[in-house]
Amino acid sequence: MTRSFAFGKWLLAFPLLGAALGSCSPSGGSGTAQTDILQSSLDTTVHPGDDFFTYANGGWLKRHPIPNSESSWGIGREVQNEVYARLRALSEEAAKANAAPGSNQQKIGDFYATGMDSARIEQQGIAPLKPELDRIAAIRTPQEVMATVAHLQPLGVNALMGMYVTQDAKNSEKMALYLYQGGLGLPNRDYYFNTDKRTAGIRQQYGHHVARMFQLLGQDSVTARQNSNRVVRLETALAKSSRKLEDLRDPYANYNKLAVADLGKLASNVEWRAVLNQMELQKADTVIVGQPEFYRTAGQLLKTASVDDWKAYLQWHVVHTFAPNLSSNFDNENFRFYGTVLQGSKQQRPRWKRVLDREEDAMGEMLGQLFVKEYFRPETKQRYEKLVENVTASFREHIQQLDWMSDSTKQKALVKLSKITKKVGYPDKWKDYSSLKVDRSSYVQNVMRANQWAYRYRVNKLGRPVDRTEWDMTPQTYNAYYNPSNNEIVLPAAIFAIPGLKDEDADDATIYGYAGASTIGHELTHGFDDEGSQYDEKGNLRNWWTKQDRAEFKKRVNQIVRQFNGYTVLDSLRINGKATAGENIADLGGIVIAYDAFKKTEQYKKGEKLAGLTPTQRYLLGYALGWQSHQRPEDLAQRIMTDVHSPAQYRVNGPMADVPAFYEAFKVQPTHKLFRPDSARVRIW
């Protein structure tokens, strides 16, 4: 339930952190020291009532075309470049330093140095993967297939199965082992079956790509094509038993707890106890299987598909996983398909940026500690926390005033809201990376060891008390999330800042729209969306609603599903209203809840215009600022099929069409395209 962005909001520029919230005093900021960020982004050739997203952001988008190296571009990518520069300086300094062995600086420096040593990477070629490829080549039986699958999981190769350890959805005090569908090389199951021209073309290109990778491994063209066919055939069979995007959002349907001994009922030919032991899961006594039909099919395929089929499948998944970290022939072919064919990017980003991405994956909280120490002040954290409390208080009032919910359910909703933990800025304790080994022998080996460290960090939680202080994002991450099992919102420091806007220039209207609505209110509402509302105040999957109230809620959810089902993107592609329902509910909830919080500020009460805009106009434009982005058609098509978030344009236009304040502030009339009759507007929270 993360807050996700069409352009991939990620890291924020260090110097800007905390700046945007500096004016969260009742008076708001002056907004006069520089060009107004909201006014300068406008495209006034478009009426806000026809396309509020383009009206709010069109001027900025015209001045910021998508670079050839990117599949999308937006406000987050702009500030990410500043972060890259900072991280590059830190990493280069660490690489040159004679740091103490085992220190964070040594690990950061060695990881970066091996990633940047392209000459050595070219020289090594496929050699770093040879032990794994030799292991696969030696497979003789289906049992050895599963043993190899189990061996590869800790290395980061998620072939055949998806396995993770997290809180039990029905008992949030206990860590549980989950088995989910997985093992596909295309983004999801629909890519194997949809018959539209675009998807069919991608499917054909995928077969060529897999064959090309086999050729790079040294196979002749005929053998490579045969093995590509084996891979696609196996993956298609697995995809057939994989659930659709929208079906994965039903927490009850994807909760099927079994004793380990009963896993044989799904796949009798798999020695599950031995497999789990090999995966360092000796403590597991029960398993929550998300999609039992997937594992039934996997078991059948282990019987019916040849060992040669499985060897090709595993070879492919190994090289696919590590291709970006290998020599340029593998890296470039991987980018050609996944970067250009699937996402429309014209060229690779610079190597140093790609290495920093892997560094963030491998040791993000190491960087986070440096980040907090040097660029984030305690007083800024306090400002964030104040804004969170203001929006939470508004949500409390909204629940109390609902006309469709009974008092008994309201009281339970209020209890759940009061129990939401608000994590703001950065964690109180950091992950311990002392057992992570990093050296200068091989970039791929460093990536593998980092994957192993992360894997063991997760599986070692099994059988231990739940650590509710843990964060799943680093402080420098430009994102946020709601965790239903912890009943918490997690708001990394970076998510609150506005790029290029100084502390004294950030007025409350902009802040409440940009941070209060699209982040704080959004994440709070996730606790009460179609999925999050099924968890109680302790984070357990349990019905706390009356039957009538649940029916009334579902009626409103169905309204927003129908609304978004009606949006067509890229010719024939439509938004999947059911799959995106949770995010669309959270967007709408965030806007209306934070707006009432903003109405208590002095800026709103004074009603004075700033840069020619009223306080309410600035608030709504501040929300739109958070989705200031555009993307290539290829990337947009992929996201429509795989993402539970609507495209940025519809995350603005969709909810705005349901917000009464939008109609009043911008004089939206029935003749305008976004107009919805009052009776058709969605009202939930």
pLDDT digits (tens, 9 = 90+) for 522-557: 999 999 999 999 999 999 999 999 999 999 999 999
pLDDT reported for residue 503: 57
Q: Tell me the C-alpha distance between 92 and 188, whole Å.
A: 38
Mean pLDDT within 457-486: 94
* DSSP 8-class letter at 546: -
Q: What is the pLDDT of residues 29-68, one digit of tens each?
A: 444 446 899 999 999 999 999 999 999 999 999 999 999 9
Q: Where are the domains of the chain?
A: 2-86+354-427+471-680, 127-325
Amino acid present at 200: A
pLDDT reported for residue 377: 75
Residue 23 pLDDT class (50, 70, 90 cuts): very low
Between strands 488-492 and 421-425, the pairing is: parallel
Q: Tell me the C-alpha distance between 152 and 138, whole Å.
A: 15
**Percent share of the chain, pLDDT over 70:** 94
Residue 610 pLDDT class (50, 70, 90 cuts): very high
Mean pLDDT within 390-414: 98
pLDDT reported for residue 9: 30
Residue 154 has which token pair? 């800790």
- Rg of the chain over CA atoms, in angstroms? 25
pLDDT reported for residue 1: 44
Amino acid present at 636: L
Q: Report the topology of domain 2-86+354-427+471-680.
A: Collagenase (Catalytic Domain) (3.40.390)
Cα separations in angstroms, 562 against 183, 534, 574: 32, 21, 11
pLDDT reported for residue 2: 44
CATH of 127-325, one of 3.40.50.150, 1.10.1380.10, 3.50.50.60, 2.40.50.140: 1.10.1380.10
Residue 78 pLDDT class (50, 70, 90 cuts): confident
* DSSP 8-class letter at 341: I
**Mean confidence (pLDDT) of the chain:** 93
Q: Tell me the C-alpha distance between 510 and 295, whole Å.
A: 49
| Cβ-based burial of 190 (10 A; exposed 0-12, middle 13-18, buried ≥19) | middle
Residue 21 has which token pair? 């919230």
pLDDT reported for residue 34: 65
Q: Tell me the C-alpha distance between 184 and 316, whole Å.
A: 11
pLDDT(605) > 70: yes
Query: Is the Cβ–Cβ distance between 629 and 56 less than 8 Å?
Result: no
> Which residues are bridge partners to 72 per DSSP?
631
The better pLDDT of the pair 390, 34 is held by: 390
Angle formed at CA 186 by CA 341 and CA 276, multiple of 5 degrees: 150
2-86+354-427+471-680 and 127-325, same CATH topology: no
Cα separations in angstroms, 596 against 5, 180, 391: 25, 41, 8
Q: Tell me the C-alpha distance between 514 and 57, whole Å.
A: 13
pLDDT reported for residue 17: 40
The better pLDDT of the pair 28, 198 is held by: 198
Mean pLDDT within 74-85: 81
Q: What is the pLDDT of residues 120-143, one digit of tens each?
A: 999 999 999 999 999 999 999 999
